[in-house]
Structure 1
Amino acid sequence: MTSVLARRVAAVAGASAITVMVMLTASCAKEEEKAPETSTTTTTTTTTTAPPPSPTDKAPRLEPGGPNPFSPTVIAPPAPTAEPGDN
């Protein structure tokens, strides 16, 4: 008799928890007023061409066989080794 009562209490608690979660979700999901839609038309015409961009001095140069500009300059000490059989 006690296990049946415990199952019923657990079922009621679970169902009420689900109901509360659904109610909280529904209360938080309210529709907001949408802004009025406006449409605009823009026409742009250009007759001149811009010169090609020049390379910057700050950009790293990647050359085949050259040094890697992205490698760190500080090298960390190696990890200590454990004695055999010690994990």
Structure 2
Amino acid sequence: MTTDNRLLRRVSAVAGIGAIAAMGFFTASCAQEEEEAPETTTTTTTTTSPTSAAPVEPTEKAPRLEPGGPNPFSPTVVAPPAPEATPGRHR
């Protein structure tokens, strides 16, 4: 091995280690702890009478799937058929 190759390898190694160290220092300097907002708690009291309750409605709007029945989630758009071509013949 020649002296030039050794010097080049050492310079490359030092440059690589320096780049990694610089990234670490940059990351550490950007990571600041933020001050937490003061905690506030509020309490509210509501009263309702048992006769004023609204009727409960189901939240699920999806149709039910029946075994062997049609799939309500299938698309209604049909793609055009693929073009027909014979190998070796171009239109």
Which category of TM-score, normalised to the shorter sequence, fits these structures?
Answer: 0.5 to 0.7
Map 1:60-79 → 2, pairs under 5 A = 60-64=62-66, 65-76=68-79, 77-78=81-82
Separation in structure 2 between the aligned mates of residue 55 and residue 9 of structure 1, nearest angstrom: 67
Match of 2:39 in 1: 37
Identity %: 54
How many residue pairs get matched? 81
SS where residue 38 of structure 1 aligns? coil
Calculate the TM-score normalised by the size of structure 2. Answer: 0.63
Structure with the greater alpha carbon radius of gyration: 2
Distance 1:23 1:79, change over 3 A: farther
Calculate the TM-score normalised by the size of structure 1. Answer: 0.65
**Pairing 1:53–2:57 present:** yes
Match of 2:30 in 1: 28
Give per-residue Cα distances to partners, 1:54-73, cap 9 Å, x unaligned.
689xx442241332121111
Distance 1:80 1:17, change over 3 A: farther
CA RMSD, aligned part only?
3.2
Residue 81 of structure 1 and its aligned partner are, at CA, apart by: 8.3
Higher relative contact order, chain-length normalized (CA < 8 Å, sep 6+): 1
Which stretches in structure 2 are left out of the alignment for 5+ residues?
none
